[in-house]
Structure 1
Amino acid sequence: MTSSKVISPSKLAHVVLRTNSDNFKTMVNFYKIFLGGQATYENDFLSFITYDDEHHRIAIAGVPGTGPKTLKTSGLEHIAFTFDTLDDLVKAYTQRKEHNIFPIWSVNHGPTTSIYYADPDGNQLETQVDNFDNLEDANAFMTSSEFAENPIGVEFDPEDLIKRLQSGEDVAAIRKRPNIGPRSMPVDA
């Protein structure tokens, strides 16, 4: 048995989502809007969607006979997308609202400020911004007793976040997670 570390990939390239044939077009349209993306290739059962320098970040496959997603089984919990600034995060939130795409949860985890959504199949999507200016500070927070006490985070209202940003409040103060004491995983999660 070897103890050498396996070489890490240089990046995560894409995620493929399976949907049923009837929901294929709805899912494709949702992701094009949600990501501000476009298809690099698409037919009646496959769509390869990109929004950046990768040829596709999300692929959607419409597979006949695919059943509905259930939240009580093992599997992928969510896909996370990072924005550069809080302003960009809330601008995307506002733009999505214009397309009737509304969040299901908004939380300051500590390392990130995050707004979560669900796609038409119920897959969860996290949009986030890093709260620390460097990896060392983020890692230090994640190894702190404060994070161990509450690894989930503190909910917030995105509309309040927008008001705080528009009022000129210091961004560092907005990014700092309030300390609410112990919190654990909800039983019905």
Structure 2
Amino acid sequence: MTAKVPADTRVGHIHLKVTDIERSITFYRDVLGFTLTQRYGDQAAFLSAGGYHHHIGLNTWHSRGAGPAPEQAAGLYHVAFLFPDRTSLGAALGRVLDHGTALDGAADHGVSEAVYIRDPDGNGIELYRDRPEAEWPRTSDGALAMVNTPLDVPALLAEGAA
């Protein structure tokens, strides 16, 4: 029998090894918009959304001044941040682009709209919003029929700027 976690289980937080704590705080706080909740000197910091103790942990314990992890190695592919609506996703994308961060990609998956970027240490980040479940594409037998089509980035940015 396959084990199953409860349906309301959530990913609580991520903790990333970074090379420069100040640079990473600036990115996650000033660009993505998370709030700095605590720091441990120049070695670790914690950031959150909405007053939670932390969604993101950053540390330099084993990585201060190191280079990025090799692309062709096992490890985290990306972390995904779920925005509550299209407007807030568009606003976040606007801040990212204003900061000079390049897009790695953007896609409409049918169930969600997503943009892909990298943080200053090369960690992959997905910024996305889910569509209401009633709008998810499905096959004739009710199975999900996710897609990978181009996302209308200018329309998303316009909605975020409104």
The counterpart of 1:50, out of the listed 40, 48, 51, is: 48
Counterpart AA for 1:123 = N
SS in 2 for 1:106: strand
Deviations 1:32-56 (A, max 9, x none): 1233122221121010111224200
| TM-score, length basis structure 1 | 0.69
Compared with structure 1, are the counterparts of its residues 137 and 50 closer, same or farther at alpha carbon in structure 2 (3 Å cutoff)? same
Compared with structure 1, are the counterparts of its residues 25 and 6 closer, same or farther at alpha carbon in structure 2 (3 Å cutoff)? same
Deviations 1:167-189 (A, max 9, x none): xxxxxxxxxxxxxxxxxxxxxxx
User: What is the CA-CA distance between 1:91 and the residue it aligns to?
Assistant: 1.6
Greater Rg, structure 1 or structure 2?
1
Instruction: State how far apart, in whole Å, the 1-side matches of 2:152 and 2:70 are.
Output: 27
How many percent of aligned residue pairs carry the same amino acid?
23
Residues 1:17 and 2:12 are matched in the alignment: no
User: What is the CA-CA distance between 1:100 and the residue it aligns to?
Assistant: 2.5
SS in 2 for 1:94: helix
User: Which residue matches 1:38?
Assistant: 35
Q: CA RMSD in A?
A: 2.7
Q: Which has the higher contact order (CA 8 A, sep 6+)?
A: 2
Unaligned runs of 5+ in 2: none
User: Which residue matches 1:68?
Assistant: 68
Maintained 8 Å contact 1:45/1:61: yes
User: What is the CA-CA distance between 1:4 and the residue it aligns to?
Assistant: 7.1
User: Which residue matches 1:104?
Assistant: 104
Instruction: State how far apart, in whole Å, the 1-side matches of 2:15 and 2:100 are.
Output: 24
Counterpart AA for 1:122 = G
Instruction: State how far apart, in whole Å, the 1-side matches of 2:88 and 2:152 are.
Output: 16
User: What is the CA-CA distance between 1:162 and the residue it aligns to?
Assistant: 4.0
User: What is the CA-CA distance between 1:137 and the residue it aligns to?
Assistant: 5.4
Compared with structure 1, are the counterparts of its residues 106 and 119 closer, same or farther at alpha carbon in structure 2 (3 Å cutoff)? same
Instruction: State how far apart, in whole Å, the 1-side matches of 2:151 and 2:2 are.
Output: 43
Deviations 1:15-38 (A, max 9, x none): 000123xx2221121111233122
Maintained 8 Å contact 1:13/1:54: no
Compared with structure 1, are the counterparts of its residues 110 and 45 closer, same or farther at alpha carbon in structure 2 (3 Å cutoff)? same
